[in-house]
Structure 1
Amino acid sequence: MVQPHSKTIQEIRRYFKEARALQDDSMDFDASSTETRLAQTVKELQVRVQEQQAALEKLRSQSGVDLEAAAYASQDPRQKLQQLIAVKDTYKRLKPTATFLPTQGSVLPALLAARTLQQNVQGTKEAIDSTQAQLTKKEATLRREEANLHDANLLTQAMKNRIERLSAQHEDRSQKTPAQLARELIAAKRAQKGNCDTEMHRLGEAMNNFINDYLSSMLAAEELGGPVVGDMLDVEDDTLAAGFTRKGRAKSTKKPVSDKTRQRRIDHIWGPKAVAVEDEEEEPSTEAEAADAEMRQLIGDLFATLIGPGAGKAYFQLVRDSAATRFLVRAKIAQFHPRDARKLRLIDFGRELDD
Structure 2
Amino acid sequence: MAVDQEKVDKIRAFADRGRNLEKQYRENPLSLDAIQHYNRRLDDTIRSLQNHVKRQEDALRKQGLEISGQGTEPAQRLAQVRRVKKAYDSLLQAEPDLPSPNSPLPCLIALRETSRVIQENKASIASLRKSLPSSRQQLKDEQDDLEDAKRIHEGLRTRIQRIKREQSENATKSPSELADDFVNAERKRTRALKTSSSKLRNDLDQFIDDHLASQLAAEDLGGPVVGDIMEVPDSTLEAGYTPHGKPKKPKSTTAQDRDDDDPRQQRIDNLLRRQRGGDDDASNAAPRSKREAAAVAMHELINSLLESGTSYVELPRESAASRFLVRAKVAQLHPRNARKIRLIDFGRSFED
- What CA distance in whole angstroms lies between the structure 2 residues aligned with 1:281 and 1:55? 122
Kindly report which structure 2 residues correspond to 1:36-185, keeping only aligned pairs within 5 A, or say none: 36-44=40-48, 59=62, 68-70=66-68, 76-83=73-80, 107=103, 110-111=104-105, 113-118=106-111, 120-121=113-114, 124-125=117-118, 152-185=149-182
Counterpart secondary structure, 1:345: strand
**Cα distance change, pair 81–296 in 1 and its aligned pair in 2 (3 A):** closer
**Cα distance change, pair 294–144 in 1 and its aligned pair in 2 (3 A):** closer
- What CA distance in whole angstroms lies between the structure 2 residues aligned with 1:224 and 1:351? 37
Residues 73, 83 of structure 1: 8 Å contact kept: no
Kindly report which structure 2 residues correspond to 1:159-308, keeping only aligned pairs within 5 A, or say none: 159-255=156-252, 278=281, 285-306=288-309
- What CA distance in whole angstroms lies between the structure 2 residues aligned with 1:99 and 1:244? 97
**2:338 matched to which residue of 1?**
341
Q: What TM-score comes out, normalization by structure 1 length?
A: 0.64
Counterpart secondary structure, 2:341: strand
5+ long unaligned stretches in structure 2: 1-32, 258-278
**1:34 matched to which residue of 2?**
38
Query: How high is the sequence identity, in percent, across the aligned residues?
Result: 36
Moved more, 247-256 or 83-92: 83-92
Residue 340 of structure 1 deviates from its aligned partner by 0.2
- What CA distance in whole angstroms lies between the structure 2 residues aligned with 1:162 and 1:150? 18
- What CA distance in whole angstroms lies between the structure 1 residues aligned with 2:119 and 2:345? 63
Residue 337 of structure 1 deviates from its aligned partner by 0.4
- What CA distance in whole angstroms lies between the structure 2 residues aligned with 1:287 and 1:35? 96
Residues 220, 287 of structure 1: 8 Å contact kept: yes
Residues 315, 337 of structure 1: 8 Å contact kept: yes
Counterpart secondary structure, 1:249: coil
- The residue identity in structure 2 corresponding to 1:208 is D
Moved more, 147-156 or 176-185: 147-156
Moved more, 331-340 or 247-256: 247-256
- What CA distance in whole angstroms lies between the structure 2 residues aligned with 1:288 and 1:55? 109
- What CA distance in whole angstroms lies between the structure 1 residues aligned with 2:39 and 2:119? 32
- What CA distance in whole angstroms lies between the structure 1 residues aligned with 2:70 and 2:95? 29
- What CA distance in whole angstroms lies between the structure 2 residues aligned with 1:305 and 1:75? 106
Residues 317, 339 of structure 2: 8 Å contact kept: yes
5+ long unaligned stretches in structure 1: 1-29, 260-275, 307-311
- The residue identity in structure 1 corresponding to 2:242 is T
**Cα distance change, pair 87–152 in 1 and its aligned pair in 2 (3 A):** same
Output one character per residue of 1:173-195: Cα deviation in whole Å (capped at 9) or x when no partner: 11111111111111111111111
Counterpart secondary structure, 1:181: helix
- What CA distance in whole angstroms lies between the structure 1 residues aligned with 2:144 and 2:67? 67
Residues 325, 331 of structure 2: 8 Å contact kept: yes
Counterpart secondary structure, 1:195: helix
Q: What TM-score comes out, normalization by structure 2 length?
A: 0.64
* RMSD between aligned residues: 4.7
Q: Number of aligned pairs?
A: 294
**Cα distance change, pair 68–338 in 1 and its aligned pair in 2 (3 A):** same
- What CA distance in whole angstroms lies between the structure 2 residues aligned with 1:92 and 1:210? 96
- The residue identity in structure 2 corresponding to 1:35 is N
Residues 333, 346 of structure 1: 8 Å contact kept: yes
